Amino acid sequence: PLIALAARLCGQDGAAALRVGLRDRLNHPSPNSAHPEAAFAGALGVSLGGTAFYGGKPRVLPRIGEGQWMLEPAHIREAVRLLNTASVLGLGLAVLLGLRRKR
């Protein structure tokens, strides 16, 4: 939900971030990385996955996202913007929860 909110604030597709994040969050061998990857793919309208190399051996990973495969430099800039926005929101939430706990 935090990445979806950040996507909305960045003018990206927050609904797709939530939808794809929930649907594709387990489509990666690493249980931790697929959650944000899926949400980012939805927000940015891209697809991730396909053939990856681990230890020099190819491995076909499931598709994450429902958008285009060809990524452009603009996608990197938008991903960094989304990351920064989500980080600020997360920090703000942590501070608020910390202040609430001190009461």
Residue-wise pLDDT tens digits, 27-86:
888 878 889 999 999 999 999 988 888 899 999 989 999 988 889 999 999 999 999 999
Give the global pTM: 0.88
pLDDT at 65: 95
CB 25 within 8 A of CB 38: yes
Answer whether residue 101 shows pLDDT above 90.
no
Model confidence at 13, in pLDDT bands (50, 70, 90)? very high
Q: How many domains does the chain have?
A: 1
Q: Which domain holds residue 34?
A: 2-101
Instruction: Classify residue 77 as exposed, middle or buried by CB count within 10 Å of its CB (0-12, 13-18, 19+).
Output: exposed
pLDDT at 90: 98
| Residue 21, pLDDT score | 96
Average pLDDT over residues 7-35: 93
Of the candidates 80, 88, 12, 23, which has an alpha carbon nearest to the alpha carbon of residue 96? 88
